């Protein structure tokens, strides 16, 4: 099967009679079936997707197809789809079937996207390697012994492995951008409040945002246009109108780009990643863009602040999973207290329990002000300093990750090393700004890594336009 990199390519071949949509869906299903070792999909909606393909094909040929007609897309297993299972890759939600669809799911379907299945992820989106799933780790499409990144590793690997055209993930501290970097595709975390979180199983409510993985900027723009915007079911979503992102992709301007000195000079940065990042910045400077180093002295506080706040929110959000209302209940439990204790002990994985305990500690009497309250002030400083830089610059640039994909098990027993995987990606969610990872680099062994751009709140139009320019200039170099 031909490997498509954009919806426009799919539509052209369908309308020219080179392929029918059912054949495309079947090709993706065959690719999924051929790589069970990667453990990317927890469930495949095969017959349903094939039936949808027949219907959407007829609409397309009649000129009545929706804005995403022809797009085959996968959902991370923390995004609800009515009548389908959703588990956040946790045993605590084993067998649970969603009673409603997430707003993003409804909007995809309304525009004739075809949902092919739900993808594996780190349990409750807590992880940077996709090794924390109750259903086993996900393998990297290039080498199954490597991790694809996390927590949205399954969604990233599905797109990189040609098992769907696009996918949705969620980003709390880098869970879209980090796996996008390691898998060599595009991944974007929009501004907090740009996309409704209704129907997204919460990890940390003041951080979580849904976003797409794709191969092309055109598909990023098309998906964001569909899934963004006001929603009566989410009081935190912005009421701002959704721009025409697709029309903005062709805009070419000279921008002011600030690269964060502390990131480029970080001793943990892989030399090949550093060299490629500097090459891109130098090329942009030579083309007339203003490229300057900026200082962000709060870099060392990003990861600690992120983990204090997100674990606190997780402790609260995950209290509802108790073995009483739905999902897993320990079969040997007796009485209310014992049911709660045994069900949560056996239903949650080690990393989720670690974060619940950390969060409960920082919220506890005597420690609330010292940890949670103090860290909220640190977050305010991070937000203010970041947005101040973005009044002087259009974009902040960093590598997305310090390195390429690492081996399974390599960091599994070292939580601190794993948490530091997020060092360049947590700034955007702490500040509430959009960030995108672009697949602009490969190391000497052919493993990909990303280049990250961040911009001010609700400036996705500008971010996508410049990203499209970078993809044109650097993606094949």
Residues with catalytic roles: 76, 151, 175
Query: Is the separation of the CB atoms in 363 and 372 below 8 Å?
Result: yes
Q: What tokens does 165 get?
A: 């055209």
From CA 410, how far away is CA 185, in angstroms rounded? 23
Query: Is the separation of the CB atoms in 124 and 78 below 8 Å?
Result: yes
Strands 256-260 and 290-294: parallel
From CA 387, how far away is CA 279, in angstroms rounded? 26
Separation of first and last alpha carbons in the chain = 26
What residues contact residue 224 under an 8 Å CB cut-off, 6+ apart?
Answer: 188, 190, 194, 195, 211, 212, 242, 245, 460, 464
Q: What tokens does 219 get?
A: 């598909």
Q: Given phi > 0 = left and psi -120 to 50 = alpha, else beta, which region is 80?
A: beta
Q: What tokens does 148 get?
A: 């694809």
Give the start-end residues of each E strand in 219-271.
256-260
From CA 418, how far away is CA 148, in angstroms rounded? 13
Q: Which among 14, 465, 1, 23 is positioned nearest to 248, based on CA atoms?
A: 465
């Amino acid at each position: 099967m031909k490997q498509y990199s954009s919806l426009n390519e799919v539509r052209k071949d369908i309308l020219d009679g080179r392929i029918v949509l059912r054949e495309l869906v079947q090709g993706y299903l065959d690719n999924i079936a051929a790589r069970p070792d990667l453990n990317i999909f927890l469930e495949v909606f095969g017959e349903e997707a094939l039936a949808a393909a027949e219907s959407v094909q007829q609409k397309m040929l009649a000129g009545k197809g929706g804005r995403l007609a022809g797009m085959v897309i996968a959902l991370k297993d923390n995004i609800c789809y009515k009548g389908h299972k959703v588990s956040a890759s946790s045993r605590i939600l084993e067998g649970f079937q969603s009673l409603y669809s997430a707003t993003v799911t409804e909007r995809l379907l309304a525009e004739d996207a075809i949902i092919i299945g739900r993808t594996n992820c780190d349990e409750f989106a807590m992880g940077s390697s996709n090794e924390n799933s109750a259903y086993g780790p996900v393998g990297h499409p290039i080498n199954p012994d490597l991790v694809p990144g996390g927590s949205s590793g399954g969604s990233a690997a599905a797109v990189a492995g040609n098992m769907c055209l696009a996918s949705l993930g969620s980003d709390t501290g880098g869970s879209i951008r980090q796996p996008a970097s390691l898998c060599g595709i595009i991944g974007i975390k929009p501004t907090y409040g740009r996309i409704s979180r209704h129907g997204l199983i919460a990890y940390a409510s003041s951080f979580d945002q849904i976003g797409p993985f794709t191969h092309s900027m055109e598909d990023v723009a098309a998906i964001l246009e569909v899934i963004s915007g006001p929603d009566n079911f989410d009081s935190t979503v912005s009421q701002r109108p959704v721009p025409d992102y697709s029309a903005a992709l062709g805009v070419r301007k000279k921008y002011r780009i600030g690269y964060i000195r502390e990131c480029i000079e970080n001793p943990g940065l892989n030399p090949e990643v550093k060299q490629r990042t500097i090459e891109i910045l130098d090329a942009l400077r030579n083309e007339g863009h203003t490229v300057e180093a900026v200082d962000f002295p709060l870099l060392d506080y990003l990861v600690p602040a992120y983990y204090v706040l997100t674990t606190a929110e997780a402790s609260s959000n995950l209290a509802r999973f108790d073995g009483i209302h739905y999902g897993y209940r320990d079969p040997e439990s007796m009485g209310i207290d014992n049911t709660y204790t045994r069900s949560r002990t056996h239903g949650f994985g080690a990393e989720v329990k670690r974060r619940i305990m950390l969060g409960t500690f920082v919220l506890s009497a005597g420690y609330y002000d010292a940890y949670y309250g103090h860290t909220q002030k640190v977050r305010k400083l991070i937000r203010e300093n970041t947005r101040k830089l973005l009044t002087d610059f259009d974009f902040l640039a960093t590598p997305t990750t310090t390195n390429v994909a690492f081996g399974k098990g390599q960091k599994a027993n070292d939580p601190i090393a794993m948490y530091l995987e997020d060092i360049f990606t947590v700034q955007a969610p702490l500040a509430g700004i959009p960030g995108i990872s672009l697949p602009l680099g490969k190391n000497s062994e052919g493993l990909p890594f990303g280049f990250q751009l961040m911009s001010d709140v609700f400036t996705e139009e500008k971010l996508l336009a410049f990203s499209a320019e970078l993809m044109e200039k650097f993606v094949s170099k």
